[in-house]
Structure 1
Amino acid sequence: MVERKREALQSIQSKIDSLPKEKERTEEHPASRKPDVVLFFSFDIVNSTAYKTINYYGWAQVLNLLFKELRREVGNQIKSSEMWRVLGDEAIFIIKIRDEDELCEYVSRIFRIMVSTIHRLKKGDFFNFNQNFNMMKLQNILSLKTAAWLAAVTDVGDIESEDILLENADNIFERYQSQEGHDIFEFLGNDIDTGFRIARHTEDGRMILSYELAYLIAQKTGSLSCLHIITYRRLKGIWNDKLYPVIWYHDPKAYCDVYKKELEFQNSFTFDVCDESDLLKEYYDNRESNKDEKIIRDVGMYTNPLYALNKILQDRELTEKMERLQQLIKEATYDQTRFINTELMQIHCVAVCFKKEGEKIKILVAKRADGREKHKGAWEFGCAKAVIDKSIAQKIKEEYQQDFNIEIAPVLDDTREIKEPIPIALYQIEHNSQLSDGEKMDKGIITLARIIGDYEPKDFKANDKHEKVQWITESELPDINKNYLSKVPDFEQTLKQAFKMIRTLPCV
């Protein structure tokens, strides 16, 4: 009996001893990282089913072109945004949020993209690519409607990991392979579902916002005036099926480029709107004091968005959630890591930029911003990333011009027919520190580039990538470790190799 008790106690102690190790392993898992606040927005093609019926042949080319134009326009207007997926006639995009002012600007741009695209559709610009589509242009009934919502998303990597079950994440992003080399990306969570639910309560030429998104941008005076509470609806599975506000965003200034004047919300309605739209019939009925059918009797819940949003915040006990979203945005760091990354590997292209005047050589080095995800505050040489549709030399020139406002000429291999920069070293770097599996590594090349014209480091303006730049000469090499405490790997070796090769180049 005593022996059995001893064995039982030893077993319990063994389990207790294992708890810190389990906790440590969980903390190291990528799911433990701080969530990103992500803005989701979708463009849904209106009247697509009827259009397909009328134009049995050729409609696929028109819709395909429309989606391409939306991707191009979103890419131009909202940098760093990503297309998540196309579901039927709906295209869904995402972008990480780093600032509340930035959030307001994104919402404004999404609305403007919708307005300008609808205008181009009505003018028939999308049908000019083929004369055979004149009939489809005449029969055009297509338009757009838009939805936008927010979610705090935790990147959990591979959902099969058991450690993920220990995480308390409201919404998650996961990736998995359906077959070798083919990744599938998925967002899951209550706030993600909310976005799809509210998207059903917008209409042609309208943009609906989730409560969380509307609350955050309402804190900015300029955005508050763009919010309009249409009505309240019960959304399945959202807020325990209690009433949810249907909030539309309308920016009168967005119409200036199209109509050369602002278009106020009520002026944007057709004369028979209440006959055509149940939602807008409710919008008008909710504002009439003699209407007893209103589901909410407090008129301020319809006519005063700020009052309504704050009342909902209190009654639905959402204060903690909204404060958490605001804190996550405030603490967010500059991060170029993409969610939807279908590339198996990236090619990083570092250019060691230099000036050579006779025997005098100086190299430009840059200090990474403290907000960067990797190597915060470390000294480096800058970096571009190769793309499929541009040469390495061209891409380096473009990105260094953008990052440092500097004109450079990469040192090319003139002995070859295809003239690309001469590598002075190769390196590799972890593909995605968020996944931290230590196995997926991006590759990089280090090259040389002459600085064209005069360049003064004191004129450099700090940005999200770099805090400052400065010259370094060969005579400073012995004191590198003392003067540059934080630096990227092989910083000193790269400098030595670069000075050595630069001395062999002819003066230009």
Structure 2
Amino acid sequence: MVEKKTGNLQSLSNKLDELSRQKETDERSESRKPEVVLFFSFDIANSTSYKTVNYYGWAQVLNLLFKELRENVKKQINSSEMWRVLGDEAIFIVKIRDEEELREYVNKVFKIMLETIYKLKKGEFFESNENFNMMKLQNILSLKAAAWIASVTDVGDISDATVLKNDADNIFERYQSHEGYEIFEFLGNDIDTGFRISKQTQDGRMVLSYELAYLISQKTESLSYLHIVTYRKLKGVWKDRLYPIIWYHDPKAYLEFYKKELHLKESFTFDACDESELIRDYYDNHEPSEKEKIIRDDRMYTDPYYALNKILHDRELASKIDKLQQLIKEATYDRTKYINTELMQVHCVAVCYREFKGQIQILVAKRQANREKHKGAWEFGCAKAVIDKSIAQKIKEEYEQDFNIKIEPVLDESREIKEPIPIALYQVPHTSHLNDVEKKDKGIITLAEIIDDYDPDSFEPSEKHEKVQWVTESDLPNIKTMYKECVPDFEQTLRDAFGKIEILFMEKKRNEYNAE
């Protein structure tokens, strides 16, 4: 009987182990769910000729040009990241959360290209440095752009056997070349296609991949911005079968710089056909010509809606488009970065408080239900430290951005470098994992006094938080009931904060009394 019980216990233990392993596998699989990523690149046109004429100093000009592009992209598309710079080409990425957002980003990329070209042509770019005067006179630089889309699976460690079993169209891998330095790589057919189509554009033009063009074409206005230039065989793309070369052109984007709309043909120079084979192809394919076209159906050039849907059917791409649309539809808000060069981040929580009618109130915020971590949990908000700003400054900026609130962190006035006084330290899982090894970011919890009249009822829900409200010390006995979903140590943080704040008020009153 004892042996039978022992055997049953062993069998139960084995089943529990198996369930645990299955759970870990499922969690890894969930973390590797594909995400739709927009890739876009800016390539400096005429750079070879410019380098020849300006043998000394061209590197400084190109470096500053890339810097301005990075800053402009960050300003216009704040969730984007720079992936890499290859020669004279800078490549950026951004996760996509809905199709309207996708159309908006594509249009912004086009406008960034136009704005940069305008500054180069008008000489505004060179005015920042008097040493650029000669290079300004000899300036022939311009810009060209490309954009493509891909469903990307973050595989972590490609040597993991479970990764090889996953049906991943394109993958993102990070690996460590030496201690403290990571390399980030995107691989896959759609990534390769992007590099192929980026060669099918030119000065002042922006080319799109077929999948990207199809997705944005679902809105009539965006469809009108699509122009099929020609069809070409691109090495390794669609088994070397004809691929549409599609240019994106928004006539209204020229209003800001040229005070008028410019349609595609109007934007060509008078000698464009002499300078560009692609533009020659465009005219030959869109107007009566004795030259034999590679595709005889004129609608494949002149009617983008017809052409995109014809290609969808003939190339059997419907399931791929459906998958992209479904992934975009299911996407959740996620602030994690692909290109995370920080081995550790410092999270800075400020417990914001005020005195109201003789009572201390602490502001708490409910996270949105679609957040990656602590979905719908109550917290105190959070900022992240950066290299070029003090912790106090960064806390003030991020809390004003997140809650439209003005605060003053409680600083250690006894020290020469005045930074917030920590009331607690904590750890959180790092947002980037290398080879599935768990890393921990560090966090500090501080106090910050609210210095303006703040009404939680005026708070407008954001991507981060659903709502905010006050907590008083009298609420502490019922905290677990009132705030069932909350971040770790929520109650303890409140208790510690109320205690510290009372001490601060006592010291303040004592100092005021002594001053009298």
Same fold? TM cut 0.5: yes
SS, match of residue 94 in structure 1? strand
Identify the residue that residue 216 of structure 2 maps to in structure 1. 217
Identify the residue that residue 118 of structure 2 maps to in structure 1. 119
SS, match of residue 471 in structure 2? strand
Amino acid at match of 1:236: K
Cα deviations by residue, 1:409-444 (Å, 9 ceiling, x for unpaired): 111111111111111100000002766946310000
Deviates more, 1:236-245 or 1:436-445: 436-445
Q: What is the CA distance between 1:255 and its match in structure 2?
A: 1.2
Q: Is 1:31–1:164's contact at 8 Å kept on the other side of the alignment? A: no
Amino acid at match of 1:488: V
Q: What is the CA distance between 1:26 and its match in structure 2?
A: 3.9
**1:233 pairs with 2:229:** no
Cα deviations by residue, 1:445-472 (Å, 9 ceiling, x for unpaired): 0111111221111111101100011111
SS, match of residue 341 in structure 2? coil
Identify the residue that residue 284 of structure 2 maps to in structure 1. 285
Return closer, same or farther for 1:240/1:496 CA change in 2, 3 Å cut-off: same
Identify the residue that residue 98 of structure 2 maps to in structure 1. 99
Q: Is 2:102–2:216's contact at 8 Å kept on the other side of the alignment? A: yes
Return closer, same or farther for 1:438/1:158 CA change in 2, 3 Å cut-off: closer
Distance 2:400 2:119 in 1: 33
Q: Is 1:356–1:362's contact at 8 Å kept on the other side of the alignment? A: yes
Distance 1:333 1:205 in 2: 35
Distance 2:30 2:123 in 1: 47
Identify the residue that residue 302 of structure 2 maps to in structure 1. 303
Distance 1:402 1:458 in 2: 17
Identify the residue that residue 150 of structure 1 maps to in structure 2. 149
Identify the residue that residue 406 of structure 2 maps to in structure 1. 407
SS, match of residue 43 in structure 1? strand
SS, match of residue 447 in structure 1? strand
> Which runs of 5 or more structure 1 residues have no equivalent in the other structure?
1-16
Return closer, same or farther for 1:393/1:25 CA change in 2, 3 Å cut-off: closer
Distance 2:498 2:435 in 1: 34
**1:275 pairs with 2:274:** yes
Identify the residue that residue 202 of structure 1 maps to in structure 2. 201
**1:495 pairs with 2:498:** no
Q: What is the CA distance between 1:288 and its match in structure 2?
A: 2.8
Q: Is 2:157–2:436's contact at 8 Å kept on the other side of the alignment? A: no
Identify the residue that residue 441 of structure 1 maps to in structure 2. 440
TM-score, structure 2 normalization: 0.92
Q: Is 1:31–1:154's contact at 8 Å kept on the other side of the alignment? A: no
Distance 2:414 2:171 in 1: 51
SS, match of residue 310 in structure 2? helix
Amino acid at match of 1:505: L
Give aligned-pair identity as a percent.
70
Amino acid at match of 1:440: K
Cα deviations by residue, 1:31-78 (Å, 9 ceiling, x for unpaired): 852111101000001111111111111111111111111111111111
Identify the residue that residue 341 of structure 2 maps to in structure 1. 342
Distance 1:303 1:27 in 2: 48
Distance 1:248 1:63 in 2: 25
Amino acid at match of 1:223: S
Amino acid at match of 1:487: C
Return closer, same or farther for 1:53/1:102 CA change in 2, 3 Å cut-off: same
Distance 1:73 1:57 in 2: 27
Distance 1:466 1:23 in 2: 33
Q: Is 1:30–1:157's contact at 8 Å kept on the other side of the alignment? A: no
Q: What is the CA distance between 1:168 and its match in structure 2?
A: 1.1
Q: Is 1:30–1:435's contact at 8 Å kept on the other side of the alignment? A: no
SS, match of residue 229 in structure 2? strand
Distance 1:377 1:92 in 2: 35
Q: Is 1:127–1:137's contact at 8 Å kept on the other side of the alignment? A: yes
Amino acid at match of 1:461: E
**1:367 pairs with 2:363:** no
Identify the residue that residue 177 of structure 1 maps to in structure 2. 176
Q: What is the CA distance between 1:290 and its match in structure 2?
A: 5.2
Q: What is the CA distance between 1:264 and its match in structure 2?
A: 1.2
SS, match of residue 504 in structure 2? coil
Distance 2:239 2:276 in 1: 27
> Which runs of 5 or more structure 2 residues have no equivalent in the other structure?
1-15, 510-516
Q: Is 1:234–1:243's contact at 8 Å kept on the other side of the alignment? A: yes
Q: CA RMSD in A?
A: 2.0
Identify the residue that residue 317 of structure 2 maps to in structure 1. 318
Q: Is 2:175–2:183's contact at 8 Å kept on the other side of the alignment? A: yes
Amino acid at match of 1:224: L
Q: What is the CA distance between 1:158 and its match in structure 2?
A: 2.1
Q: Is 2:157–2:435's contact at 8 Å kept on the other side of the alignment? A: no
Distance 1:45 1:108 in 2: 19
Q: Is 2:174–2:434's contact at 8 Å kept on the other side of the alignment? A: no
Cα deviations by residue, 1:103-159 (Å, 9 ceiling, x for unpaired): 111111111110010111112223234433322111111111000000110111122
Cα deviations by residue, 1:445-500 (Å, 9 ceiling, x for unpaired): 01111112211111111011000111111111111111111100000000000011
Aligned residues: 493
Amino acid at match of 2:339: I
Amino acid at match of 1:178: S
Return closer, same or farther for 1:19/1:244 CA change in 2, 3 Å cut-off: farther
Distance 2:344 2:101 in 1: 30
Amino acid at match of 2:398: E
Amino acid at match of 1:76: K
